Amino acid sequence: MPQSENLRIAIQKSGRLSEDSISLFKECGIKLEAGKGRLKSESPNFQAEFLFLRDDDIPGYVEDGVADLGIVGENVLIESAKSVEVIKKLGFSKCRLSLAVPREVDYVDHTYFDKKNIATSYPKLLGKYLADNNLNAQIHEISGSVEIAPSIGLADAVCDIVSSGSTLLSNGLKEVEVIFKSEAVFIGNTSLSDSKKAILEKLLFRINAVQRAQNNKYILLNAPNDKLKEIISFLPGMKSPTVMPLATEGWSSVHSVLEESEFWENIEALRSAGAEGILVIPIEKMIY
Ligand code: PRT
Ligand code: ZN
């Protein structure tokens, strides 16, 4: 296969997006070698080549077409203001961009920020929030260690990425407004060739199968035959459930596929309807 036929996919070299990005391709059966200072790797079993980059550079490379596709946090994508297509949300590296103030501040509402000095690495996202809320604050842009800005007298407040909240806490700050929610997204160049679009279709087919499988469980249970109808009504499977007779007379084994949330919602109803020996099994791939 000529080199130009490969999809070039940019992923973070090392950081909070790397592991999940690499796992996503591996779960899609796409082999890739990463790590050991590698900057590029061609998959031996899929028409893809991976570029390992800093996350901040990924939107620009995808916009320019140096990479066809990339995985990046929505926060970085929007802040970059690059023109790329968001192909799919990926559900990992979830976090929020929040405003935080020193713990001792008697915070009432967002008017607190009017005429204040706010330190952030996200001036565009913060600027939009301030404009949308008619707040006239000073944005102090810094590239890292934003959380220490108030304690060293650099700013009155910070606007930074929060996940567990422990970094804010240990810097004497409290989160008061969430201004943006973010997760990893799969982005693409807006003018992919037809042959690259065809490879992307294959890739998306696999990603969808993996994502669906992650949200669903295979469920097996034993049901008394006179309760089958009621039990099946709690199992909205892919089609209808499989029902097989058990060796014990009057009982059947019922197999179905359920979204995990549906399973937890229905478990009590299934048990009180007489279901026994309920097994819930992970699914590796799910193809409609
Ligand atoms: O080297 P490179 O530039 O590639 O990486 P980076 O250091 O810029 O980014 P990285 O790996 O830290 O994060 C990549 C992406 O992961 C971010 O753009 C977000 O979309 C997402 N993400 C998810 C996070 C966090 N969670 C997170 N907790 N990004 C940063 N943090 C930082 C935050 O800045 C703060 O310092 O973690 C601290 C807060 O965490 P908690 O758990 O204490 O609240
Ligand atoms: Zn970065």
Which residue owns the Cα nearest ligand 1 atom 29?
161
* Residue 263 pLDDT level (bands cut at 50, 70, 90): confident
* Residue 34 pLDDT level (bands cut at 50, 70, 90): confident
Which residue owns the Cα nearest ligand 1 atom 16?
16
| 21 and 87, same domain (yes or no) | yes
* Residue 38 pLDDT level (bands cut at 50, 70, 90): confident
Output the ligand 1 site: residues, CB below 6 A.
12, 15-17, 54-56, 73, 75-76, 93, 95, 160-167, 182
| 150 and 204, same domain (yes or no) | no
Q: Are 254 and 243 in contact (CB under 8 A)?
A: yes
Which ligand 1 atom is nearest residue 18's CA?
11
Which ligand 1 atom is nearest residue 53's CA?
4
Torsion sign, CA atoms 234, 235, 241, 243: negative
* Residue 262 pLDDT level (bands cut at 50, 70, 90): confident
Residue 85, pLDDT above cutoff 80: yes
Tell me, yes or no, whether 288 lies in a domain. no
Query: Long-range contacts for 141-149 (Cβ within 8 Å, ≥24 apart)?
Result: 146/119, 146/120, 146/121, 147/100, 147/171, 147/173, 149/119
Q: Which of 102-116, 179-193, 239-253 has the lowest mean pLDDT?
A: 239-253
Which residue owns the Cα nearest ligand 1 atom 1?
54
Angle between helices 18-27 and 194-215 (to 10 degrees): 100
Which residue owns the Cα nearest ligand 1 atom 21?
93
pLDDT, position 4 = 56
Residue 81, pLDDT above cutoff 70: yes
* Mean predicted confidence (pLDDT) in 84-93: 97
User: How far, in Å, is the centroid of ligand 2 from the Cα of 149?
Assistant: 19
pLDDT, position 1 = 44
| 89 and 191, same domain (yes or no) | yes
Range of the domain at 103: 95-181
| 134 and 190, same domain (yes or no) | no
User: How far, in Å, is the centroid of ligand 2 from the Cα of 54?
Assistant: 6
% the chain with pLDDT above 70:
98
Q: What is the pLDDT of residues 199-245, one digit of tens each?
A: 999 999 999 999 999 889 999 999 999 999 999 998 876 678 899 99
* Residue 174 pLDDT level (bands cut at 50, 70, 90): very high
Which residue owns the Cα nearest ligand 1 atom 39?
162
User: How far, in Å, is the centroid of ligand 1 from the Cα of 75?
Assistant: 10
Residue 68, pLDDT above cutoff 80: yes
CATH number at residue 101: 3.40.190.10
pLDDT, position 240 = 81
* Mean predicted confidence (pLDDT) in 26-32: 96
User: How far, in Å, is the centroid of ligand 2 from the Cα of 14?
Assistant: 10
Q: Are 8 and 69 in contact (CB under 8 A)?
A: yes
User: How far, in Å, is the centroid of ligand 1 from the Cα of 43?
Assistant: 28
Residue 3, pLDDT above cutoff 90: no
| Residue finishing a domain among 181, 203, 225 | 181
Tell me, yes or no, whether 135 lies in a domain. yes
The mean pLDDT value of the chain amounts to 94
pTM, full prediction? 0.90
Which one, of 27, 44, 33, 24, lies nearest residue 184 by Cα?
24
CATH number at residue 231: 3.30.70.120
pLDDT, position 238 = 67
Which one, of 74, 71, 69, lies nearest residue 21 by Cα?
71
Q: In angstroms, rounded to a whole number, what is the distance separating the alpha carbons of residues 42 and 20? A: 18
pLDDT, position 2 = 46
| 20 and 81, same domain (yes or no) | yes
% the chain with pLDDT above 90:
88
pLDDT, position 239 = 73
Tell me, yes or no, whether 47 lies in a domain. yes
Tell me, yes or no, whether 39 lies in a domain. yes
User: How far, in Å, is the centroid of ligand 1 from the Cα of 249?
Assistant: 58
**Domains in the chain, number:** 3
Residue to probe by mutation, ligand 1, list 163, 166, 178, 183, most atoms within 8 Å of CB: 163
Q: In angstroms, rounded to a whole number, what is the distance separating the alpha carbons of residues 280 and 9? A: 35
Which residue owns the Cα nearest ligand 1 atom 9?
15
Tell me, yes or no, whether 123 lies in a domain. yes
Tell me, yes or no, whether 2 lies in a domain. no
User: How far, in Å, is the centroid of ligand 1 from the Cα of 180?
Assistant: 14
Q: What is the pLDDT of residues 152-163, one digit of tens each?
A: 999 999 999 999
Strand partners, 42: 49
Which residue owns the Cα nearest ligand 1 atom 31?
161
